[in-house]
Chains A and B, each alone.
Chain A
Amino acid sequence: MPILRSDFNLLTDWLDSLFNEAAQNAIADMVGDRLFDVKDHPYYTFDHVVVHSPGGIQRVADGQDAPTILTDEGNSITGTMTKYAGNVPITEGLRMFVEARGQDIVGIVKSVTHDAFDKIDQSYADTLLFGWDTSHTDVWDASRTSTGPDALALFSASHTYGVATSSRTYSNLLNDGTNNDPKLGRAAIVESRRRARTLLDPEGHVRPVNLDLLIVPARLEDLAERTIFSTQMSGTANNDTNPLKGKVKEVITWPRLDTRSNGTDTSEYWFLADSMNVGETLKSRFAKRPLLEPPEKVHTSGNWDYIISFWYTWLTGHAKYVFGSRGLN
């Protein structure tokens, strides 16, 4: 039975259910949304200010007014919503011979839906993979500023706090005690965790960052899990217990880290993050989540063009909760 104009609502319901199922599966495969702070934001721009409170809490005598916290804001960054959309064309042929070509309709909806979520996830992965650059071409083929609020690349040895009262800097480059950009290994994890836990705030006080999340491409999955989860020291003959077991709570394997969207092999890159605060560094806002919308008119081609579209922006905030290495040394 061909799908006629009177069946439009039935077809729309069917496509909706296909889209929802495909979206569910695609979201389940995504890793970026576990790291990024993803929220709805129904405005055209998203302003994020990294606020510090230098001089914040102070000792006061009984009856004395509480001191005013210095309202010197830290660095800020603005993300602008951008629309992304794709067509799901249900041609006249697909509608006429729906018994024979129904699977084609399923295939089209699934592939376009997956493409949307795959690219969103890759855009998140690229944020880390292009983290040493100040600009790059993103997965949507658009030129993009990849600096954070302090106008430095996401991974830098000279991050600033943007507070007038302090010119203190910090590094979020993974380091094995000798070199930045070390290959994934125990020494680099231990040293970087030590450095992160002794980071100083603008006032010079220790504000520990607990790097308890290891994020690796598929290529490094085995090495990462052996290094972290072995009961004893992995790759050595001694019987020492493995102190990292339990301290690094999770190893996240993110296959999209293996290759950047420009085709560069990035399978040696690896990252450590603070699971409690990683959302302070990686942020994404949706003005409109991906949605399948029915056509408003029938084109002269006879196609019923359903559209999958969404509006979102993503950016980096305070850089200190994610450390990165390109695995060069």
Chain B
Amino acid sequence: MPTPNWAKALSQNPPSCNDIGIPWTEAEAKAVLIDRIPADYVRAGALSHEAYEKMKGKNDLYKEKHGEYPLIFWTRDELYHEADRLEIPYTATTPKTILANAIELGRQKEEIRKAEEETKKEEQEKTEEKTEEEVEEEAEEEIDLKELSKEELKNIAEKEDVEISSTDNKGDIIKKIKKARKLHE
């Protein structure tokens, strides 16, 4: 079983294979090696100079929209820089296409991590909001009880099985009702 030196073939300028283990088709080989269309564009499907120019135009539009070119058109240095940012290990012989794929995956992982962090943050905020609501409810409840007469408070205490004495004033009864409710909770 013969195996050409794919790494060497890929490292040539222009590369004489599409990727490690993937030869060019005859049309792609002509486009890259004879017509000298950049390999990145041939990989993306541009087999003539017209198609190449058209694809370049589309890429510029893509850059305007997303702030960067698609990863497969990045230079090796740009890919290295991004790989460093995402803490993706690589070597000098890592093919561009493989590195671009790794970066794509790295970015997806980064997005998932960010999304998870945001969800956590939101949940925390919600918990905090809930506490505030409870505080407000309690305050409202307190106001409601204060607005009632002593007789009405005695009736509530009786209904809720709260023991009160005849010497309790209005404030004592409110305190006892609240305490009982808390215990009940």
Chain A interface residues (CB < 8 Å from chain B): 75-80, 82, 132, 134, 142, 144-145, 147-153, 156-158, 160, 162, 164, 167, 169, 313-316
Contact = CB atoms under 8 A, between A and B. Distances in A.
B8 A77 contact: no
Contacts of A149: 4-5
A54 B31 CA distance: 25
Contacts of B32: 158
B5 A77 contact: yes
Contacts of B34: 157-158, 169
A82 B1 contact: yes
7 contacts: A77-B2, A77-B3, A78-B4, A147-B2, A151-B24, A152-B29, A153-B23
Contacts of B3: 77-80, 145
Given A153-B26, A162-B12, A162-B16, A167 B33 contact: yes
Interface in B1-23: 1-6, 8-10, 12-14, 16-17, 23
B contacts with A: majority SS: mixed
Contacts of B113: none
Nearest to B32: A158
A297 B13 CA distance: 58
Contacts of B181: none
A167 B14 contact: yes
Contacts of A132: 26
B179 to A, nearest CB: 82
A158 B1 contact: no
B184 to A, nearest CB: 76
A145 B14 contact: no
A156 B33 CA distance: 11
A158 B9 contact: no
Contacts of A315: 2
B29 A76 contact: no
B130 interface: no
B23 A152 contact: yes
B146 interface: no
A302 B174 CA distance: 106
Contacts of B1: 79-80, 82, 142, 144-145, 313
Contacts of A160: 12, 16, 33
Interface residues of B, number: 22
Nearest to B2: A315
A149 B12 CA distance: 13
B30 interface: yes
B23 A157 contact: no
Given A167-B33, A316-B2, A75 B13 contact: no
Contacts of B26: 132, 153, 156-158
Contacts of B9: 75, 150-151, 162
A93 B8 CA distance: 58
B23 A78 contact: no
Nearest to A150: B16
B109 to A, nearest CB: 32
A315 B4 CA distance: 10
Given A77-B4, A151-B4, 18 more contacts: A76-B8, A79-B1, A79-B3, A80-B3, A134-B23, A145-B1, A149-B4, A149-B5, A151-B23, A151-B24, A152-B16, A152-B29, A157-B29, A158-B24, A160-B12, A164-B13, A167-B13, A313-B2
Nearest to B5: A76
Contacts of B4: 75-78, 145, 147-151
A75 B17 CA distance: 12
Nearest to A180: B26
Nearest to B33: A158
Contacts of A145: 1-4
B16 A151 contact: yes
A29 B34 CA distance: 41
A76 B4 CA distance: 6
A321 B6 CA distance: 22
A150 B2 CA distance: 12
B2 A79 contact: yes
Contact of A158 (B2, B6, B12, B29): B29
